[in-house]
C-alpha cells in the first residue's frame, strides 16, 4: 500500500553552529531527516519550508522523490537561488532517507551500490605563519589525513578569514547581530602566499595533497598569476579564485595555469556549472548536497561533470550539518567521478545532537550501513540549543570599500 507523508516539521538548533533540520514523518511511521542549513540566512529557509513547503508535502507519496523535486522546483515559478534550493535539498534528503528506511538499505545501495571502499577526505589546517602552518599540517596528518587545506595569515593584516592566530580550530561565523569587519589586501596576499605554500610543500614532502581556498577574492588576472605562481607547489586544487557570478572570467585563468581549479560551493543548480564544465574551465565541482537541492540534482551535476572528466568534491564545512554530510558520503561511495570529501569536523555537541552512522577513520569517511542516510536527531537535546544570529565576517580594502571576503 502506498505510504503518505503525514507531517513535515522544521527544527532549529545551535549546538555551536546554527543548523536547520527538516523532519518528514509518514503514515507508516517512518521518519526522514533533511539538512536545510543556509549559514547567515537560516531563518529564511525555515520560513520557506514552514510557510510554503511543509503544508503541500502532507498527503504526498514519500516514494516519489524525483516527482516531488520537480514539483517543488518547477511548481513555484521562481526558480533557483540558495534559499529555494536549500529548502528543496532538505526535502530531497529526507525523502531519500525515508526510501532507504522503507527498503532497509543504506542510500548508497539505492544509488547503484558502492564503487569505492571508502571516501578520501580532507580537512583544514590553518596557521598564521609558516611554522604554525607546518605544525597544523603535522597534527592533521597524525589524524590520518592525506589531503589538507592550507590557509595562512598575511603579513600586515590583523586577521584573515579561516585562520586563527593561536592555531585553534576556527569557527567561521561570528555570533551576534553585528558582522565582524576585516581588512583585506589582495596585493599583500599575492606577495606572500606563493612563497609560504612553497615552504610548506618542502616541509611536508611531495606526497601530501595540499589544497588552498581563495574565497572568491581575486580579479581574473590576479587569479591567473596566483595559479601560475603556485604551480611548483603542486596543489591538489586552488579553490574559488574569483567571485562566483561570472563564469566566463575563468577562461582567462585557465589560459595561464595548469593548477587544478575547484569551484562551486555557492552554486545551487546544474546550470551554474554548465559553462564551467562544457568549456573545461574547472577540475572539481564543489556543490554541497544540501545547497544544490539534494541528492537527486547532485547526481545530475556529477553526471554532466563526468562527461568532461571533472570530478565531484562536495562542500563539507561545519555549517553543512551531519545530515548533509551523510548525503555527500552516500553519493561519494556510489559515484565514479567523485574525488574527495571536505570534512571540517564538528564540535562534540554536534555529534551528540546528530547521531550518525557515518564514520571517519584514517583519512577516509564511510556512510555506514544503517538504512537511509543513517542520521537520527536527538530532538530533546537539540531543543536545548536555541538559534543565535551568527554571520561570516565581511571584508573591506584599506580604503574602506567592501571587497569579496
Ligand atoms: O568558508 O562554509 O571550502 N570551504 C569553505 C568553507 C566556507 C564556510 C562558510 O561558512 O570555503 O570553509
Ligand atoms: Co571553499
pLDDT above 70 covers what percent of the chain? 100
**pLDDT tier for residue 386 given thresholds of 50, 70 and 90:** very high
Res. 169: pLDDT tops 90: no
Q: Which residue among 317, 318, 394 has the greatest number of ligand 1 atoms within 8 angstroms of its CB, and so is best to mutate?
A: 317
For residue 363 the three cell numbers come to 583519512
**pLDDT tier for residue 166 given thresholds of 50, 70 and 90:** confident
Q: Which residue among 17, 37, 147, 172 has the greatest number of ligand 1 atoms within 8 angstroms of its CB, and so is best to mutate?
A: 172
pLDDT at 1: 66
pLDDT at 5: 98
Instruction: State the distance from the centre of ligand 2 to the C-alpha of 404, rounded, in angstroms.
Output: 13
Taking ligand 2, which is a single-atom ion, which protein residues have CB atoms under 5 Å away? 213, 265
Instruction: State the distance from the centre of ligand 2 to the C-alpha of 30, rounded, in angstroms.
Output: 35
The pTM is what? 0.98
Nearest ligand to residue 314 Cα: 1
Res. 312: pLDDT tops 70: yes
pLDDT at 171: 75
Average pLDDT on 281-292 reads: 98
Average pLDDT on 331-354 reads: 98
pLDDT tens digits, one per residue of 31-81: 999 999 999 999 999 999 999 999 999 999 999 999 999 999 999 999 999
pLDDT at 176: 86
Tell me how far apart the alpha carbons of residues 377 and 252 are, in angstroms, rounded to a whole number: 46
Tell me how far apart the alpha carbons of residues 296 and 318 are, in angstroms, rounded to a whole number: 22
Instruction: State the distance from the centre of ligand 1 to the C-alpha of 108, rounded, in angstroms.
Output: 26
Average pLDDT, the chain: 96
pLDDT tens digits, one per residue of 198-255: 999 999 999 999 999 999 999 999 999 999 999 999 999 999 999 988 999 999 999 9
Res. 164: pLDDT tops 90: no
Tell me how far apart the alpha carbons of residues 308 and 283 are, in angstroms, rounded to a whole number: 9
Res. 16: pLDDT tops 70: yes
Instruction: State the distance from the centre of ligand 2 to the C-alpha of 215, rounded, in angstroms.
Output: 6
Residues labelled catalytic:
161, 215
Q: Which residue among 315, 341, 345 has the greatest number of ligand 1 atoms within 8 angstroms of its CB, and so is best to mutate?
A: 315
Tell me which residue has its CA closest to atom 3 in ligand 1: 315
Amino acid at each position: 500500500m502506498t505510504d503518505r507523508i503525514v507531517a513535515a516539521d522544521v527544527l532549529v538548533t545551535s549546538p555551536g553552529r546554527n543548523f536547520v533540520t527538516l523532519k518528514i514523518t509518514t503514515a507508516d511511521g517512518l521518519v526522514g531527516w533533511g539538512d536545510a542549513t543556509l549559514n547567515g540566512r537560516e531563518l529564511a529557509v525555515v520560513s520557506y519550508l514552514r510557510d510554503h513547503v511543509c503544508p503541500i508535502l502532507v498527503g504526498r507519496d514519500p516514494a516519489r522523490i524525483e516527482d516531488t523535486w520537480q514539483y517543488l522546483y518547477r511548481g513555484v515559478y521562481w526558480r533557483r537561488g540558495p534559499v529555494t534550493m536549500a529548502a528543496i535539498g532538505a526535502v530531497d534528503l529526507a525523502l531519500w532517507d525515508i526510501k532507504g528506511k522503507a527498503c532497509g538499505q543504506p542510500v548508497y545501495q539505492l544509488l547503484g551500490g558502492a564503487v569505492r571502499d571508502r571516501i578520501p577526505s580532507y580537512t583544514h589546517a590553518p596557521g598564521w605563519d609558516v611554522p604554525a602552518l607546518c605544525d597544523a599540517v603535522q597534527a592533521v596528518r597524525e589524524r590520518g589525513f592525506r589531503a589538507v587545506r592550507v590557509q595562512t595569515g598575511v603579513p600586515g593584516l590583523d586577521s584573515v578569514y579561516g585562520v586563527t592566530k593561536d592555531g585553534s580550530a576556527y569557527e567561521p561565523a561570528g555570533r551576534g547581530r553585528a558582522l565582524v569587519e576585516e581588512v583585506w589586501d589582495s596585493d599583500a596576499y599575492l606577495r606572500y602566499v606563493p612563497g609560504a605554500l612553497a615552504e610548506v610543500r618542502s616541509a611536508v614532502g611531495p606526497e601530501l595533497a595540499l589544497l588552498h581556498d581563495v574565497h572568491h577574492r581575486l580579479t581574473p588576472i590576479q587569479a591567473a598569476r596566483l595559479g601560475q605562481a603556485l604551480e611548483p607547489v603542486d596543489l591538489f586544487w586552488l579553490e574559488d579564485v574569483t567571485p562566483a557570478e561570472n563564469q566566463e572570467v575563468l577562461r582567462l585563468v585557465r589560459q595561464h595555469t595548469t593548477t587544478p581549479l575547484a569551484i562551486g560551493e555557492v552554486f545551487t543548480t546544474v546550470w551554474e556549472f554548465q559553462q564551467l564544465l562544457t568549456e573545461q574551465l574547472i577540475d572539481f565541482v564543489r556543490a554541497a548536497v544540501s545547497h544544490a537541492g539534494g541528492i537527486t540534482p547532485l547526481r545530475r551535476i556529477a553526471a554532466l561533470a563526468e562527461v568532461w572528466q571533472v570530478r565531484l568534491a562536495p562542500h563539507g564545512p561545519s555549517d553543512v550539518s551531519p545530515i548533509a554530510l551523510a548525503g555527500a558520503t552516500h553519493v561519494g561511495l556510489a559515484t565514479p567521478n567523485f574525488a574527495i570529501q571536505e570534512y571540517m569536523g564538528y564540535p562534540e555537541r554536534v555529534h551528540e545532537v546528530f547521531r550518525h552512522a557515518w564514520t571517519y577513520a584514517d583519512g577516509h569517511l564511510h556512510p555506514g550501513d544503517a538504512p537511509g542516510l543513517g542520521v537520527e536527531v536527538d530532538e530533546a537535546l537539540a531543543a536545548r540549543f536555541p538559534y543565535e544570529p551568527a554571520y561570516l565576517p565581511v571584508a573591506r580594502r584599506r580604503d574602506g570599500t567592501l571587497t569579496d571576503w
